Amino acid sequence: MLSLAKTITTDVLVVGGGGAGLRSAIAACETNPKLKVTLLSKVYPMRSHTVAAEGGAAAVTQAHDSLQAHFDDTVSGSDWLADQSVVDYFVKHAFDELVQLEHWGCPWSRQPSGDVQVRRFGGMKTERTWFAADKTGFHILHTLFQTSLKYSGIQRLDEYFLLDLLVHEQRCYGVLAIDIASGDLVQIQAASVILATGGAGRLYQFNTNGGIVTGDGMALAYRHGVALRDMEFVQYHPTGLPGSGILITEACRGEGGILLNKDGYRYLQDYGLGPETPPGQPQNKTMELGPRDKLSQAFWHEQQQGRTIQHPQGEVVHLDLRHLGQRYLLERLPFICELAKAYVNVDPVKSPIPIRPAVHYTMGGILTDANCATSIRGLYAVGECASVGLHGANRLGSNSLTELLVFGKVAGREAARLASEPSQPAADSLLSTLTTQALAPLQQLHNSQGSERWQPLRQQLAASMEQGCGIYRSEAGLKETLTCLAQLKQRYQQLRLGDSGKAFNTDLLHALELGFGLDVAEAMCQAALERKESRGAHQRQEPGLTNRNDQDFLRHSLAFYQTRPGARIEWQAVDTSLSPPAERLYGGQRPRGQSSAGQQPTDNPPKESR
Amino acid sequence: MPTTEIRLQRYRPEQDNAPHWQDFRVEYDDSTSVLDALEQIKAEQDSSVSYRWSCRMAICGSCGVMVDGVPKLGCKTFLRDYPKGLTLAPLSHFPIEKDLIVDMSRFLAHLSAIKPYLIAEAAPKGKPYRQTPAQLARYKQFSNCINCGLCYSACPQFGLKPDFLGPAAIALAHRYNLDSRDQGKSERMAQLNSDNGVWGCTFVGYCSTVCPKGVDPAAAVNQGKIASTLDGVIQWFKPGKETSK
Ligand SMILES: Cc1cc2nc3c(=O)[nH]c(=O)nc-3n(C[C@H](O)[C@H](O)[C@H](O)COP(=O)(O)OP(=O)(O)OC[C@H]3O[C@@H](n4cnc5c(N)ncnc54)[C@H](O)[C@@H]3O)c2cc1C
Ligand code: SF4
Ligand code: FES
């Protein structure tokens, strides 16, 4: 029989030591220095996947840029599925947060004058992306982690695995966790809990995510009745390495890299992203700097037409950086040079890098309001695991690192506020009932006499998601994947562990992560099935569904957990109070009905041409 | 696919009295990393084998192991370079928790001890500090540490004296000391000057050889020695038994 080894009591519990978790822990301390803030993470904070972000973080910085422009880019990038007051708040607070990080020591790249340097980024009309060479996430994460050491109010529980939330009648009382080193079960009581557990990219076969990005927090909130919003929107990054999926940052294209098919042709001009720009002279929102979804879709079409290149690890196209020259590459993209050499044995100075689309980012997540609060009192969510309403159907690169900071601060502040109010602690009897319930799945895994192993199940999950819920979707494909998921869930019941020890039982942790992943995958597929239109990262293949359909689907999907297979989907209105929906246009495209003679649009859709 | 032999040091605290070796045969190609090989072993041969990893792209710092006795990142070491097979053991000089997993708490304590954050009176209001590329370049290299701990496994001093702050912590202190925005040097110097600080180093330099990120902690230690010698007030506290450079 499993039993608790210890109980910890705290005021604010932050689950997740990535950018979002660290930023919210610091904000909670600053809001009320008297509070006990506990930061729990299944890996040491600086191992969190924020560390892998390369490109940069966006905020309006230059005099000729404007908040309106950042707003417009984000809203049109989201294919009008972002909540506009949230976007408005975000763009207004972005700059201050990046400055805050600068004051904490982040080594942002600089201009000769000593001012912060900004770079171009896909889907952004103006240069507004701050960067620290090509290791922006790494520097942000280490700056936050090191700064967090200054706050004596923050107590860390490194290498603790969140097992379940303790929720009763829409109120969260804390969590149950495994101390990974000892295997001990620990109950943590908290007045407020912030989930900052990151995305779920590992549900797919080819992805740019680290092994820990398995959707744990999403699944737990979901199982306790919180909706997962907009889960059908999964961003493919157009440039991952074949095989591993390791990311080759968009900044390569921002700096002037070009994409070539097997004929050495810059195929993006055939997909509404032209006119062709001279190599090494990138133009915002055009060609290689078009948005990610369009670029990944273009790859898919090229592959269908047989114009991709065969590589030992699958079909690829080429990312050519050679014209940028060795000096520039080593100064601006040193990490990319290192990665390409190590993982595909290519020196970008001398040869083009083979690349293919890979799953990168989950736009959807745990539904929160603009204050990062979920429908459960005392439970907050922030960062990639959350859906605060910023990204809609497609996230713009470099908006999410800033999101971690802007909304991390909000989440920490709100959680601290709640924890500062007097409240009734849960009765011991209630906590012990909740704990017993939470232990049931673990008990079952330990006692199982089944014969299934998690590894093949996880492989089948990833392959099936790639197959049925990938760049292009169809009813038949989605239904097939949903059937597969239902079967995998059945087989999961027969799972048997290969490690019966307690200390560092990674076999057990991977099995639990797989269980979380199966639930999240189901929410994604069900929402994708019921969104019978194409918008942003969600593209349906069936005739009649290949376009955006605002009449029926200018709405968020909300997926609710149910014990029988599949999720229950509801729809929620989108906040379009500031900018009515218009077409998403890139490259030299003009809004429909507007002659090329340069007539100005009359309403206020963003002017995106050029 | 060719195969090769991996000798893996095993230790399961609940059942083993001491570490012992176990052999595994794995398939590999041109791109198979040590981490990939471990994944293969865990998936197909023995799922109780334990090790840390996450990013698999040499940036999260989780996967340090001894490969044939040399500290390396498992995700950035390739089987193609070991055609005759290899041995894998946990990082030296750290207590073993299980298999390839070591206890990193002392490493973290050392990092925290040197106050690795900007210490400054008042930042410019609502705007960034100015810092020229040249000022950035002074400390940039030392800010690239991924906290993998390889340099501690390479450091004979840390092996003998675990209280020695060690290469990465000293490099990190140096990183902030060199930052044009920082005024906290004097607060850090006490640590750096102590018996467990820069003067604990006998300048073997192996730390910089094994560093996968070109941080060159040995240079930081050495520059730290010069800084502390030049710093009159601090010099006073300097322990007398300076070791060879
Ligand atoms: C390769 C790559 C490059 C990127 N580049 C950019 C970029 O240039 N610009 C940009 O804006 N965005 C970029 N992104 C996106 C952005 O980096 C991520 O969205 C963001 O870092 C996520 O941060 P997070 O704090 O929400 O989660 P993470 O950093 O993933 O942290 C999640 C935390 O939760 C913890 N956790 C999870 N589950 C559990 C559990 N069960 N128990 C305990 N702890 C748990 C983990 O240990 C971890 O500490 C990139 C993403 C990738 C993958
Ligand atoms: S200095 Fe180098 S070897 Fe040492 S911890 Fe940092 S990155 Fe690793
Ligand atoms: S797995 Fe992250 S450094 Fe190797």
pLDDT at position A590 is 61
Chain A (579-608) residues lying within 8 Å, Cβ to Cβ, of chain B: none
CA distance A52 to chain B (A): 6
Taking the centre of ligand 3 as the mean of its atom positions, its distance from the CA of residue A211, in whole angstroms, is 10
Average pLDDT, stretch A166-188? 97
Same domain, B130 and B224: yes
The pTM (predicted TM-score) of the whole model is 0.94
Count of domains forming chain B: 2
Instruction: Classify residue B170: in a domain, yes or no.
Output: yes
pLDDT at position A354 is 97
Q: Chain B within 8 Å of A152 (Cβ-Cβ)?
A: no
CA distance A293 to chain B (A): 24
Instruction: Classify residue B85: in a domain, yes or no.
Output: yes
Instruction: Classify residue A567: in a domain, yes or no.
Output: no
| Positive or negative torsion for Cα A425, A427, A433, A436 | positive
Q: Chain B within 8 Å of A542 (Cβ-Cβ)?
A: no
Same domain, A78 and A198: yes
Ligand nearest B150 Cα, by number? 2
Same domain, B153 and B90: no
Q: Answer for the pair A376, A224: CB distance below 8 angstroms, yes or no.
A: yes
* Exposed e or buried b per residue across B24-61, where buried means at least 16 C-beta atoms within 10 angstroms of its C-beta: bebebeebbbbbbbbbbbbbeebbbbbbbbbbbbbbbb
Pick the residue with more confidence: B120 or B204?
A: B120
Same domain, A93 and A71: yes
Same domain, A28 and A163: yes
Contacting residues of A for B13, CB less than 8 Å apart: 501, 503
Count of domains forming chain A: 3
Is A390's C-beta closer than 6 angstroms to any atom of ligand 1? Answer: no
Pick the residue with more confidence: A95 or B224?
A: A95
Domain that holds residue B27: 3-102
Domain that holds residue A276: 239-357
Question: pLDDT averaged over chain A?
Answer: 93
- Give me the residue from A113, A146, A507 closest to B116, CB to CB: A146
Same domain, A132 and A175: yes
How confident is the model over A24-57, as pLDDT tens digits? 999 999 999 999 999 999 999 999 999 999 889 9
DSSP A576: -
Same domain, B21 and B123: no
Q: Is the pLDDT of residue A601 over 90?
A: no
* CA–CA dist B222, B245 (Å, integer): 8
Same domain, B109 and B40: no
- Give me the residue from A110, A181, A498 closest to B136, CB to CB: A110
DSSP A268-334: GGGGT--SPPPTT---TTSGGGS-HHHHHHHHHHHHHTT-SEEETTEEEEEEE-GGG-HHHHHHH-H
* CA–CA dist A513, A517 (Å, integer): 6
- In chain B, the DSSP E strands lie at 3-10, 20-27, 64-67, 70-73, 86-89, 96-98, 101-102
Question: pLDDT averaged over chain B?
Answer: 92
End residue of a domain, out of B86, B102, B118:
B102
Contacting residues of A for B111, CB less than 8 Å apart: 146, 149
Q: Chain B within 8 Å of A345 (Cβ-Cβ)?
A: yes
Same domain, A42 and A109: yes
Same domain, A395 and A448: no
Instruction: Classify residue B28: in a domain, yes or no.
Output: yes
Average pLDDT, stretch A433-439? 94
Same domain, B20 and B136: no
* Confidence grade of residue A1 (pLDDT, cut at 50, 70, 90): low
* Confidence grade of residue A608 (pLDDT, cut at 50, 70, 90): very low
End residue of a domain, out of B87, B102, B117:
B102
Instruction: Give residues (CB < 6 A) around ligand 3.
Output: B 53-56, 58-63, 73-75
- In A437-574, the DSSP E strands lie at 555-560, 568-573
Q: Is the pLDDT of residue A594 over 80?
A: no
Same domain, B48 and B94: yes
Average pLDDT, stretch A14-27? 98
- Say which CATH number the domain at A261 has: 3.90.700.10
Q: Is the pLDDT of residue B243 over 80?
A: no
Asked if B50's CB is within 8 angstroms of A505's CB, the reply is yes
Is B213's C-beta closer than 6 angstroms to any atom of ligand 2? Answer: yes
* Residue indicated by tokens 């932050």: A14
Same domain, A103 and A228: yes
Of A1-5, A73-77, B158-162, least confident by mean pLDDT is A1-5
CA distance A143 to chain B (A): 8
Same domain, B146 and B111: yes
Instruction: Classify residue B183: in a domain, yes or no.
Output: yes
pLDDT at position A134 is 87
Q: Is the pLDDT of residue A604 over 50?
A: no
Of A131-145, A407-421, A433-447, B90-104, least confident by mean pLDDT is A433-447
How confident is the model over A192-242, as pLDDT tens digits? 999 999 999 999 999 999 999 999 999 999 999 999 999 999 999 999 999
Same domain, A109 and A246: no
Instruction: Classify residue B245: in a domain, yes or no.
Output: no
Is A537's C-beta closer than 6 angstroms to any atom of ligand 1? Answer: no
Instruction: Classify residue B203: in a domain, yes or no.
Output: yes
Same domain, A65 and A128: yes
* CA–CA dist B199, B202 (Å, integer): 8
Same domain, A193 and A257: no
End residue of a domain, out of B56, B81, B102:
B102
Instruction: Classify residue A392: in a domain, yes or no.
Output: yes
- Say which CATH number the domain at B109 has: 1.10.1060.10
Percent of chain B with pLDDT over 70: 93
Q: Answer for the pair B174, B140: CB distance below 8 angstroms, yes or no.
A: no
Same domain, B88 and B196: no
Question: Which residues of A are annotated as catalytic?
Answer: 237, 253
Instruction: Classify residue B27: in a domain, yes or no.
Output: yes
How confident is the model over A481-537, as pLDDT tens digits? 999 999 999 999 999 999 999 999 999 999 999 999 999 999 999 999 999 999 999
- Say which CATH number the domain at B47 has: 3.10.20.30
Instruction: Classify residue B243: in a domain, yes or no.
Output: no
Asked if B99's CB is within 8 angstroms of A107's CB, the reply is no
* Confidence grade of residue A448 (pLDDT, cut at 50, 70, 90): confident
Asked if A499's CB is within 8 angstroms of B14's CB, the reply is no
- In A363-435, the DSSP E strands lie at 365-367, 379-381, 386-387
* CA–CA dist A580, A604 (Å, integer): 8
Chain B's closest residue to A109, CA to CA, is B133
DSSP A520-558: HHHHHHHHHHH--S-BTTB-B-STT-SS--HHHHSEEEE
A231: helix, strand or coil: coil
